[in-house]
Amino acid sequence: MPPRRQEQFLRNNQRFLSLPPEQQAQIRQRLEAWNRLTPQQQQSLRDRQRVWEQMTPEQRRYVQQSLFPRWQQMLPARRQAILQRLHSLRSLSETDRQAKLNDPAFTEGLNPEDREMLGQLAHLHVGMAPDSPGL
């Protein structure tokens, strides 16, 4: 929705108008941030949201409590190495994906922790959307 229509919608939406001013400001800030994204970035976020919605509650909890904190602590070069491999898996069938993950040449250069993270993310289909910028 274009920014002008977003503003018109917000001004006429009773639920929005009944929110405290701080929440209204936060929503407006998030809409402004969304509007600054490129169409490719917006699509990437939609793809990531779709993956998230397809996860079970247990998988989501695992990602939030275990994978994401470990991911954040990784050096950018290690995250990039994992993401590059995840992107190369995105168009493969589950069987081919597993074969690739078990191929020592594919995981060459990754330490055991990175190989484990790659396998877990691949299993959850996290980061496998085209041009996904991160976890």
Domain ranges, residue 77: 57-124
* 28 and 72 inside one domain: no
Tell me, yes or no, whether 74 and 119 share the same domain.
yes
Q: Indicate whether 83 and 119 sit together in one domain.
A: yes
Residue 52 belongs to some domain of the structure: no
Q: Note the pLDDT tens digit of each residue in 52-91.
A: 898 899 999 999 999 999 999 999 999 999 999 998 998 8
Number of structural domains (the chain) is: 2
**Which H, E and C letters describe 8-35, residue by residue?**
HHHHCCHHHHCCCHHHHHHHHHHHHHHH
Query: Which residues in 68-83 are b (16+ Cβ under 10 Å) and which e?
Result: eeebeebeeebbebbb
Percent of the chain with pLDDT over 70: 93
Show the tokens assigned to 92.
């493969």
Q: Are residues 61 and 118 in the same domain?
A: yes
What average pLDDT score do residues 41-59 get? 88
Q: Are residues 66 and 120 in the same domain?
A: yes
pLDDT in tens, 16-31: 889 999 999 999 999 9
